[in-house]
Homo-oligomer: A and B are copies of this chain.
Amino acid sequence: MIKVGIVGGTGYTGVELLRILAVHPEAEVVCITSRSEAGMPVADMYPNLRGHVDLAFSEPDAGVLAGCDLVFFATPHGVAMRMVPELMAAGVRVVDLSADFRLKDLDTWADWYGMAHESAEWAEKAVYGLPEVARAAIRDAQLVANPGCYPTAVQLGFLPLLEQGLVNPARLIADAKSGASGAGRQGKIGMLHGEIGESFKAYGASGHRHLPEIRQGLSAAAGKGVGVTFVPHLVPMIRGIEATLYAELVDVADFDRLQSLYEARYENEPFVDVMPFGCHPETRSVRGANHCRMALHRQENSNIVIVSSVIDNLVKGAAGQAVQNMNIMFGLDERLGLSAPALLP
């Protein structure tokens, strides 16, 4: 059994880790920390866990965490970068669900997150944990930076095109939409049901923190810097991300082989489902599940490839991918604890 610690467990990512790990046959959560809620039984905050999780939130304790095999960070940015070096020194492995170790360029990180980075060493050593790109490196990593939710949906959708150099990398557009759980669980007026329960809007259209992460990942896939426009939107639902991606095919003749290219690229990926050409993936088809489903489209006489890609932002976009990474790191079947179908309807 892998002894697991969770730092920062009161948010939606934390409860989702607990939900998934509650049925994982090879992992056992031994502590879950929260400074603000120390002492409160987890199941008092999250009644779905009554009867499943007996833990209470505890103050972070360096000794307890150092005794874990793996620690998940489900904290706001700025926390993991301060605590991780000590855990690294203690030989503990870490999957950080926050943004602290996702960007390799720390000036960019500082610009977007509004603070200086405090662990250049581990920012460099951290492996960006998108298994479909970096499975081997994840296996050996001590520190995995779990990708953001939008970046997961966007990268998986664009990857085959960029890896093969089929599209103009300077003109990528990602129009993405997310349910409200992506904003976390803080008491913000702007996220009240009364404010957003029956409305739709773009946000962060002039620049969102996931933009540099997307750009970094797509540039790596393309082998050169890409130009990408990314606009997120808020959907009046709780879980789910859909990203509609637009790219210009260099040679329109390539349209004929795109479907088979995508299917081949993801053939051995347990959590990527390339649907038939022309399908419309629905976010509900992955609700609660670790899958990314995607499909390709073309409009008449157009050289634009359209990809629609869906994930559950809390699962493949956060806690599920984190557990997938844990499975890889510990040599387990990658699907362990992640095999239940999505909840539909």
A residues with a Cβ closer than 8 A to B are: 12, 15, 18-19, 22-23, 46-53, 171, 173, 175, 177, 179-181, 183, 185-189, 191-203, 205-207, 211, 227, 229-231, 233, 235-240, 242, 244, 246, 248, 273, 275, 278, 280-289, 291, 293, 297-300, 302, 304, 306, 308, 310, 314, 339-345
Contact = CB atoms under 8 A, between A and B. Distances in A.
Nearest to A207: B299
B238 A235 contact: no
Contacts of A22: 340-341
B229 A199 contact: no
A261 to B, nearest CB: 18
What 3 A-B pairs have minimum CB-CB distances, sorted nearest first? A199-B284, A48-B342, A47-B285
A242 B200 contact: yes
A236 B236 contact: yes
B192 A344 contact: no
A244 B192 CA distance: 24
Q: What is the copy number of this chain in the assembly?
A: 4
Contacts of A278: 205-206
Contact of A287 (B48, B53, B187, B196): B48
Contacts of A198: 198, 237-239, 284, 287
B238 A197 contact: yes
Contacts of A186: 187, 189
Contacts of A201: 242, 280-283, 308, 310
A271 B306 CA distance: 33
Given A233-B177, A282-B47, A206 B339 contact: no
A284 B199 CA distance: 5
A233 B244 contact: yes
A195 B345 contact: yes
B345 A12 contact: yes
Contacts of A195: 185, 193, 345
A299 B233 contact: no
A297 B233 contact: no
Given A198-B239, A288-B343, 7 more contacts: A181-B194, A193-B195, A200-B235, A202-B281, A205-B297, A233-B244, A314-B345
